[in-house]
Each structure stands twice: as structure tokens, then as C-alpha cells.
Amino acid sequence: MQHYDWGDTASIPTLTGWPNPKAQPCAELWMGAHPDLPSEVSLDGSWHPLDKVIAHSPEIILGSSVKEEFQEKLPFLLKLLAAAHPLSIQVHPTKKAAETGFGAESRKNIPLNAPHRNYKDDNHKPELIAALSPLYALRGFRPWHQIRTCLEGIPEFQSFLDVFEDDPQSLSKVYENMMRLSPEETHALLDPEISRLRQRHQKRPFSKNHHAYWILRSDARYARNGLHDRGLFSMFLLNLVCLDQGQAMYLPAGVVHAYLEGFGIELMANSNNVLRGGLTSKHVDVDELLKHVCFEGAQADIFEGKPQMQDDRCVVYQTPASEFQLQQINAYQQKLHMHMESDGPEILIPSHMGEDALMILRAEDKEIRLDHSAPILVCAGVKYDILMSSGASLFRALVPSKP
């Protein structure tokens, strides 16, 4: 294989002009080395898939500790997400479950690109999303009393109250009963309530802070052949949240969630394992989904980045994940000059730059001007400086240091 002269950094290509989320249903920009969709890096004037480059030179890019701990793979994926409509109800498996599921499907010789395959790899997919605009989402089951009130208020849902108590086991029975209904049974239960919500919405429109607003929007998009989608059941049961710019939420394995609308930056483990529960044209495996859902009822946990070392110019979004950490570096009212050193691989991506804003990365005798939403890969062990004019902001994805 060809020898690559890495130098200090490599740039990762981005899309030409970030798509307008109002013009497209969902725009995603992936940055990482997952074999399903690896980024490409520019080396000596040509482009190469990042997973292949890492396989060729893991020590240079990952560093020795990351290389050993994560089996010579970049352990995280970074993604810009712009959602203009509700996306699928979904959950992610644990590491052990992913290994078991991936192994079982591989032994059955199910192709990795088969539409009905559940597991694309053997890894878990904890993820963090930080809002870059108001971002609406569903996260986890609502507190017990809210679920009970919801079920009691819908005549067609009264049968579910027969098995509902304020505990995870009974909620799992309710959810399973909903998800195992036939398309015709699903429609029969949902249609009267959807009709009532439409009538109320016509008289006095629901706001985006009301579950009904998103139920109606999702139904308008995902109803097929005159039948309502079973994913709507989840929308009655899950917490509705709105993340303001700068707020974030963490999604460990088992937490049912969906992104409804908004612009954010996601950071996750290196996996493409998604088990869906409706509001999608993709594969839904109810049996497999139910194995992994966490049925705890509680308020959604939302948090903000914490200043690093008393310096609010750099905030850290803390999570339990060992694969990734997200930092945001901000130049507020004055320009900023920070010296950095990468213990492991990093991806940098400018998140805000005014018309006259300037952002420069310097590493030894090299200087790279960063453009809006154009990411940069920094290899392990590189010492570099970030120079930012006032008003600029930068996200930094990295592997957290060990205590």
C-alpha cells in the first residue's frame, strides 16, 4: 500500500454549501471512519477513505492508547443533523447485545446491506446531541402519572389501563400490546383521537411545545394507504423536549428517542446499529426492538456544557461514554488564541462564523484557515494553536483522557 506523508493534520471534505433544512426533509453530514460511510481525507492532493487510511497508519492517527483500547479504529462518529420533520422512533443496543445480534445475523449469512438486517456492526451507539438552534425531540418514557393521565384521557386507549401500573414491567406490557397490533387494529385505535386532535388544531392551533402538534405532523407524513403509523403510540408516551442552543442530551442504550425538528451536532460511538419503532420506511423488527427498550418513566435529562478549568471560553459536555467527548470553544467579545495538544485523534468543526470572522489552525510551520462547517482531522500527538476572531465558535470531538 502506498505510504502516506501525514504531516500534522488532514482535512475532511464537507458538503458544498450546507443544505437548507427547510428545503430538504433531513440533511446529515457524517464525519468518521465507519465502513458504511467513511469520510475521505485529503493527502497530497488526492482523497482516501478514512477507515483505509487508519488501517494503514493506526499509530500515527489514533496514538498508541486509543489504538490499543479501540482495536485500531476511530472510536467515535461526528454528525451535523438538520431535521425539518420528525424522524424515526428508535433505540440503540448495549455493547453485549450488539455483539450477540451481529454475530447471530452474520452466522445466518444476512448481507450487511440487507434492508431487513438489524445489526450493521458489533458495537453499541451511545450518543450526545447538542443543539445549534431550538431542537425538538422525544426522549425516554414520561413519568408514570403523565402516562396514566394520557391513557385515561383517550377513550380508545382504556384497555391499556388494564395492565398499566406505575412500574417498568407494566409499561413494557402496554408498549408491547401497542406495537404488536396489526395495521388495521392500530388504525382503529388511533383514528378517533387523531380526528379529535385535528378538529382542536383547526379551532386553535397547537404549539410546538404540545405533543399533539408533533403527532399531527408525523401522521401527515407517515400515514400509508390511509392507515396511521404505529410509531404514533410512542409519541403519546415519550417526553417531549426542546433543547435551546447550547443545551444537550445524552442517549445511552435502551432510551427510546426521536428527533423532530432542528439543527444540532451529534457525537456517538462508532456504530450504525439502530432499532426502529415506527415513523419510517425502513425495517421495523418489533421482537428485536422490545428486547432493548428501557421502560423507566422519568423526566428527560437535559444539560449544558460545563466550563473547563474556570475558563468559560471552553465548555465540555460531560457524558459517561469512554469513546467520545464534545467540547465547544467560543470567542465571545474578543479574539481568542488557545494552545492545544491532541492526546488522541480529534475532529474540529467550526459551528459559527460571521461574515468577517476568521479561524486559523497552526501546527508547527503549517497554517490552515478553517471554513464554516468544514471539518479538520487532527492526528494524535499534534501540538497546535487555534486563533479565532470575536464571535467565532468551534466544536472539538475527541477521546476523553483517562483519569
Q: What is the pLDDT of residues 64-92, one digit of tens each?
A: 999 999 999 999 999 988 899 999 999 99
Q: Is the pLDDT of residue 27 over 80?
A: no
Cell matching residue 138: 422525544
Q: How confident is the model at residue 310 (pLDDT cuts 50, 70, 90)?
A: low
The stretches of 63-155 forming alpha helices (DSSP H) are 64-69, 95-107, 144-152
Segment 281-299 mean pLDDT: 96
Asked whether the beta carbons of 269 and 124 are under 8 A apart, the reply is yes
Question: 361 has which bridge partners?
Answer: 368, 386
Q: In whole angstroms, what is the distance from residue 147 CA to residue 163 CA?
A: 13
User: Domain 19-138+242-278 is in which class?
Assistant: mainly beta
DSSP 120: S
Q: In whole angstroms, what is the distance from residue 281 CA to residue 276 CA?
A: 10
CATH architecture, range 306-398: Sandwich (2.60)
Q: How confident is the model at residue 337 (pLDDT cuts 50, 70, 90)?
A: confident
Q: Is the pLDDT of residue 2 over 60?
A: no
Q: How confident is the model at residue 354 (pLDDT cuts 50, 70, 90)?
A: low
Asked whether the beta carbons of 140 and 91 are under 8 A apart, the reply is no
Closest CA to 66 of 325, 364, 383: 325
Phi-psi region of 373 (alpha: psi -120 to 50; beta: other; left: phi over 0): left
Q: How confident is the model at residue 8 (pLDDT cuts 50, 70, 90)?
A: very low
pLDDT computed for residue 240 by the predictor? 98
For residue 263, what are the CA distances in angstroms to 20, 48, 121, 366? 10, 29, 27, 32
Helices (H) and strands (E) in the chain, counts: 10, 23
Cα angle at 224 between 223 and 230, to 5 degrees? 55
pLDDT computed for residue 103 by the predictor? 98
Closest CA to 322 of 270, 281, 370: 270
DSSP 19: P
Segment 331-350 mean pLDDT: 86
Cell 426492538 locates to 289
Q: What percent of the chain has pLDDT over 90?
A: 68
Three-state DSSP state, 81: strand
The stretches of 204-285 forming alpha helices (DSSP H) are 211-222, 231-237
Segment 367-381 mean pLDDT: 82
Q: How confident is the model at residue 372 (pLDDT cuts 50, 70, 90)?
A: low
Beta strands 46-49 and 40-43, pairing class: antiparallel
Question: H or E stretch including 170?
Answer: helix 168-179
227-279 pLDDT per residue, tens: 999 999 999 999 999 999 999 999 999 999 999 999 999 999 999 999 999 99
Cell 426521536 locates to 258
Q: Name the more confident of 10 and 275.
A: 275
Kindly report the pTM of this predicted structure: 0.90
Q: Is the pLDDT of residue 311 over 70?
A: no
Q: Is the pLDDT of residue 13 over 80?
A: no
Point out the residues that are catalytic.
276
Q: How confident is the model at residue 19 (pLDDT cuts 50, 70, 90)?
A: very low
The CATH 2.60.120.10 portion of the chain extends over 19-138+242-278, 306-398
Q: In whole angstroms, what is the distance from residue 74 CA to residue 237 CA?
A: 36
pLDDT computed for residue 366 by the predictor? 82
pLDDT computed for residue 125 by the predictor? 97
Q: How does the average pLDDT of the chain come out, rounded?
A: 88
Q: Name the more confident of 125 and 2.
A: 125
For residue 353, what are the CA distances in angstroms to 106, 316, 337, 373? 46, 20, 16, 9
Angle between helical axes of 183-203 and 211-222 (0-180°, round to 10): 130
Segment 213-220 mean pLDDT: 98
163-196 pLDDT per residue, tens: 999 899 999 999 999 999 999 999 999 999 999 9
